[in-house]
Amino acid sequence: MSMYAIGDLHGCHAEFVALLDKLAFDPARDTLWLVGDLINRGPGSLECLREVRALGSAARCVLGNHDFHLLVAARGGGRLKKNDTLGAILNAPEREALLDWLQAQPLAVFEHHTLMTHAGVLPSWSAHAALGYSAEVQAMLKSENAGQFLQTLYGNEPARFVESLEGMDRLRALVNVFCRMRFIDGDETLDFAAKEGLDSAPEGFHPWFQYPRRDDSRLVFGHWAALEGKTPGAQIDVHALDTGCVWGGVLTAMNLETLERASVPSQKKGR
């Protein structure tokens, strides 16, 4: 039995299948952890969603910002963007079943002393705190107010999560940490403008993983393709898995027991 964590799929279905073949993945024996952003930008968003859902209990997944974008477009009155590749999902015969499945996914998974989120966690959060915060958002997504929540989800304020936040401000701040975070300052305020490599950090800001944590759990995350799977200066046991497959890089899997990595190249040039 093996457990693998796989970086952002972003609709790269052919590469996903190739990587599973390379791993000799057997859903009856093995388990997949997927760091979110299953969809969008690549040509096989519908196929990726179908594939992961069909794996049932053999796959654990967290929501990423592009997964939320689909939910906002489908159920929160949002609009698709020019480069989105979500039309096939929205027009699929099993559209509602796929959306229901996606909307039921958490923002954090913690097992075997390993925490998975899409973008990361604040240095002050323990793994158990992250699970609690994830549960708050999940509860809203399962409630009768989910549509209203999705309508008002987008926004950069408040840029800093503090325990005293309430209502929509609290939920928005939590989603932004779990799904959008890259650079933070010493007070754990998020910057939303810089999206490239480490040299794009605004003055006074650093990557979230370079700050010390008291919690010693292993962290796996995606979201930040410009890191190319590296976390220089990390103060914690942290592993970046988005290696930019949809941009012409590779799709990466990491064995959660041995930390060995395997990858397959992007097929972008042949598309």
pLDDT value for 78: 87
User: How far apart are the C-alpha atoms of 181 and 192, rounded to whole Å?
Assistant: 7
Listed in sequence order, the residues at least 6 apart from 58 whose beta carbon sits closer than 8 Å to its beta carbon are 27, 28, 30, 31, 32
Task: Spell out the domains of the chain, with CATH numbers in brackets.
Answer: 3-270 (3.60.21.10)
Supply the pLDDT for residue 232.
Answer: 95
Q: Return the DSSP state at 91.
A: T
Query: SS3 for 92-118, per residue?
Result: CCCHHHHHHHHHCCCCCEEECCEEECC
| pLDDT of 262 above 60 | yes
At 270 the pLDDT is 44
Q: What is residue 148's three-state secondary structure? A: helix
Q: Please say whether the beta carbons of 238 and 258 come within 8 A.
A: no
pLDDT at 214: 83
The pLDDT assigned to 226 comes to: 97
Structure tokens at 266: 């992007």
pLDDT of residue 269: 63
Question: How far apart, in whole angstroms, are the C-alpha atoms of residue 36 and residue 117?
Answer: 8
Give the distance, in angstroms, between the CA of residue 38 and the centroid of all CA atoms in the same chain: 8
DSSP class of residue 219 equals E
Report the predicted TM-score, pTM, of the whole model to 2 decimal places: 0.96
CA distance 53 to 9: 14
Token reading at 155:
């926004």
Question: In terms of pLDDT, which residue wins out, 220 or 271?
Answer: 220
